[in-house]
Chains A and B, each alone.
Chain A
Amino acid sequence: MAADELLAAEAATRGRPLVRFYNWSEPTLSLGGFQRLADARATSGVGGLALVRRPSGGGAILHGSDLTYAVAVPREHPWGASAQLLYDTFHAALVRLLRERGLAAAQHPGRESAAADQERLLCFDRRARGDVVIPAETADGHKILGSAQRRLRGAVVQHGSLLLRSPGPGLAAHHAGLDQLAAAAGTWEPRQLATAWLEAVAGSEESTGVVSGYVFESGSFLTARRDRLEAAAARFASPVWLGRR
């Protein structure tokens, strides 16, 4: 979370979008910005998991089987103008990528009542407009990608989680990952998938005239900002932040 906060500041300084892909060292439940900590702790299967709170909205995500990304966009950048535009830019690109591999991925139209979804702890049990799903026997399909944003003064940060593998027994045992839903479509190595996804984003309609491509940076700008990173990490690790609601 601290690294993503610095990513936002860096994007605002550079005046262009920055993307980070990452994974987790241990199974971790990340709560949405205003989800109640007590509700999470009272949920069967949460005990024993590491807990963090994101600054972004949306539902809780059980990390460890997913590819997590954060994209930071300056507020004055065209992608920063609308929450749905940034959401759709990354989600529609993944849909195209999966379809090229023969999967019937689609963006969900969203449920009629957002209020009912708020009662569901997990992001992957909710359906918002634009979520990426793979059709199933139920109308809501299997959700494999969800994202949420924190809109700051200088930049927008969008967090997202792509479910690569089925989480296995426990809290999210009912969720299916790409490995289970799309085994026939090939392997889903995270680095290759991230690269192909970025290529799809850069080649999208939403990028026309806005983003001409992407470059990978060797090393990390974070290493040059260790003091700020550690200070932000301490803030996000504090009981005050985790228990803010």
Chain B
Amino acid sequence: MAAEPRFAKSHEWIRLEDDGLGTVGISAYAVEALTDLVFMQLPDVGRQVKAGESIGEIESVKAVSDFYAPVSGEIVEVNATLPDDLEQLGKDPYGSGWLVKIRPADPAELEALLDQPAYEALVQSEQH
């Protein structure tokens, strides 16, 4: 059974799956803040990334934003259909709106991320 998602302060989530891969997406809060998405650029499969490194960009009607690798590792899969169906990000940000799958290089990095209550507290603090 997949673990509960953990969150980066930059609003990406990662969920460790049974096969040891980490599924990565953007939190519902961040997707809602972006509004009216129009374009997304995903990373290449096989790319080695470090935690906190930009792995892609997403454009809304008025802003271009990066999204970041929550942990270090190798990009082993991308959600290739997502750029053509960006509504999935808003409809199901923790399911069909996933972005990439990473093979984590260091499991300890996952533990350093925020759990759900801590992330919700971060969101609360950003809203005030």
Residues on A close to B: CB < 8 A?
Answer: 32-34, 55-58, 81-84, 87, 114-115, 117-118, 128, 147-153
Query: Please, which residues of chain A bring their CB within 8 A of the CB of B64?
Result: 33-34, 55-57, 148-151
Number of chain B residues close to chain A: CB under 8 A: 20
Q: Is B38 an interface residue (CB 8 A)?
A: yes
Query: Please, which residues of chain B bring their CB within 8 A of the CB of A34?
Result: 38-39, 41, 57, 59, 64
Query: Please, which residues of chain A bring their CB within 8 A of the CB of B62?
Result: 57-58, 83-84, 87, 128, 147-149
Do A149 and B63 touch across chains, with their CB atoms under 8 A apart? yes
Q: How far is the CB of B98 from chain A (nearest CB, A)?
A: 21
Residues on B close to A: CB < 8 A?
Answer: 10, 33-36, 38-39, 41, 54, 57, 59-66, 68, 126
Do A128 and B61 touch across chains, with their CB atoms under 8 A apart? yes
Do B38 and A153 touch across chains, with their CB atoms under 8 A apart? no
Complex alpha-carbon distance, A97 and B65, angstroms: 31
Query: Please, which residues of chain B bring their CB within 8 A of the CB of A148?
Result: 62-64
Query: Please, which residues of chain B bring their CB within 8 A of the CB of A33?
Result: 57, 59, 64
Do A56 and B41 touch across chains, with their CB atoms under 8 A apart? no
- Chain A, residue nearest B40 (CB): A34
Query: Please, which residues of chain A bring their CB within 8 A of the CB of B33?
Result: 82-83
Do B63 and A117 touch across chains, with their CB atoms under 8 A apart? no
Tell me which of B10, B36, B68, B126 contacts A114 (CB under 8 A): B36
Do B66 and A152 touch across chains, with their CB atoms under 8 A apart? yes
- Chain A, residue nearest B38 (CB): A118
Query: Please, which residues of chain B bring their CB within 8 A of the CB of A114?
Result: 36, 38, 61
Complex alpha-carbon distance, A160 and B69, angstroms: 30
